[in-house]
Chains A and B, each alone.
Chain A
């Protein structure tokens, strides 16, 4: 692929916003050569599908840009960033972990909320144990897997259970939300609590059971370019792409709610 390295132009964000909507309307790619190099995005495991799609979009728009992802539990990513991992962008599954990074003075500007995610109960396809509410998770013989309390999804799940006054003894506390999902998809446990976007990502390998608004907890996903970003311009461009119409459409398809 021919690669022109031009100096990055001021006002790159406006250009990007414009071509993001152009991309949306006619579907044709219009590669820009104003940006180049790698952009490394550290993102919560729950964002895997939506951000991967947005990443390919960014690579199509900027011929010289390569997007690399590190998907894991937000708590782990925050630790890595604070310890000096060379990331350009951080997308967290909760405010607390974004605050860890911001408090260390590592965020460029201010984090922006770009998506919301609701919790759902995830069960095996067809819901063989007939689980309808959070309370059903207490039933004898129902094995439940949650994310660990250090993981945002685990913290949200705990908040929802506490609010409903439900005490559970889960069989495992997984290190990220996708590990909870895979335990259910593999049939090793009967139910788990994950995000609506995870249930959407798993397709027909699992079934989602909605938690009514009164009992639910809404997770907020903040994103920020990082102060020490090795590729600051591409970082801003990625954040802008996530907030563009095309980005919002990708997030909505992946089961997120938009602010």
Chain B
């Protein structure tokens, strides 16, 4: 560039600074609003409430199961998308990330039409075994996985793409088998993206609402996760809803702090 250079990283143009500050205010005001209405003194009582414990437990079990499922299926998919060349790869990627942009409620209805008792595949399952996913904890895990797995796939895929293939090639010339290379070279090198993808995926699964309520329904102890409880408590017991929201918020902050290299650190 031929224009006179300004020292970078010192002062921003006033317009940019103003809009940037506005963005920060916009993003933080709701949190301050929530914090100001949260009855902190009731926190200890609420966290001992058996219904809250049950809901928290179910949320953790479902979201961690969704994370496990997403990792087992999502990492191989990311590898295929990043490394192998097959016809229709762009289409496969588009389909795989579709749930990220699909309204979750639509996702939930689509899941019903596929895996419900009268769904395309769900009916076969029901006729053969008498099992059906809706209204079960397994249904919650399926809904959360559907919505959250794409976050893991895109993060791991971009990690694999930005990886220097030289290390893997060096390992191959030294006689390592493909599995040894994946296990001892590739996975350790993409560990930061894998961790980042898993954190995003888990946070998304934990906060999942729309797909869960339309596919798995709402029953305390079986399919009522934290966000569903917050939604229903908002009417009957707002202070419990604010507190539960804050517990979810605290978990989200913990995820962000855990990923500080990616989101909180220097570029």
A residues in contact (CB < 8 Å) with B: 73, 75-76, 78-79, 143, 145, 148-150, 170-175, 179, 183, 186-189
Contact = CB atoms under 8 A, between A and B. Distances in A.
Contacts of A170: 219
B236 interface: yes
Interface in B232-260: 232, 234-236, 238
Nearest to A148: B232
A187 B232 contact: no
Contact of B117 (A148, A173, A188): A188
B235 A76 contact: yes
B219 A175 contact: no
Contact of B235 (A79, A145, A172, A173): A79
A174 B135 contact: no
Looking at A171, A175, A183, which has the most chain B CB atoms within 10 Å of its CB?
Answer: A171
Nearest to A190: B117
A78 B238 CA distance: 12
Contacts, number: 57
B117 A187 contact: yes
A187 B116 contact: yes
Contacts of B112: 186, 188
Contacts of A186: 112-113, 116, 118
B223 A172 contact: yes
B197 interface: no
A227 B20 CA distance: 38
Given A148-B232, A150-B236, A188 B132 contact: yes
Given A186-B118, A188-B117, A188-B134, A171 B234 contact: no
B217 A78 contact: no
B213 interface: yes
Given A188-B112, A188-B116, A175 B232 contact: yes
Interface string B217-228: 111100100000
A150 B134 contact: no
B235 A189 contact: no
A219 B118 CA distance: 32
Given A75-B235, A149-B236, 5 more contacts: A75-B236, A76-B234, A148-B232, A175-B213, A188-B135
B238 A79 contact: yes
